[in-house]
Amino acid sequence: MRMLLTALCCLVIPIAVAAQTYAGKVTAVKDGDTIEMLVKGKKLRIRLFGIDSPEKGQPHATKAKEFTAELCFGKTVKAVQQSRDQYGRIVAEVFLPDGISLNTAIVSGGYAWHYRQFSKNPLLAEAEMQARKEKRGLWKDAHPVAPWDWRKHKRKKAS
């Protein structure tokens, strides 16, 4: 019986952690895919799930940050945790006061890629396809460089 309870806890606890929901005011936009929220007096850094925006120093990074800020800065949003990343940040889908997904809105606006390595969300895939087709945001460039390729190149160059 004790082994069964232990096994069930191992299955239920990760699900409970992943399903954690936070509501709070966006107090900072760190970049196009990372925000900071004030939740019950505590600052939480949130990495937006399933998307990847241009890195600092990369074309469109500033515009991506500004676009994200226009959508959410100063607003009370809801973040539904999916996981934590290697830096300990909460990885979440964030919903604006009107219920629209911030993650999808950024991709739709053309300021982030659907991060397919970590997400199979068909709405994000469709949003990216439409943004590319309509040449929104970073898709105006003939050959935009994905942030994961930019980071890889930067690491390679540094070593």
Task: Read off the tokens for 24.
Answer: 């709070």
Closest CA to 48 of 137, 120, 144, 119: 119
Q: Which of 89, 126, 132, 136 is catalytic?
A: 89
151 in active site: no
> What span, in angstroms and rounded, lies between the C-alpha atoms of 64 and 138?
9
47 in active site: yes
- Amino acid at the residue 120: K
155 in active site: no
Q: Can you say how many angstroms the Cα of residue 16 is from the centroid of all Cα atoms in its chain? A: 20
Residues identified as active-site = 47, 55, 89
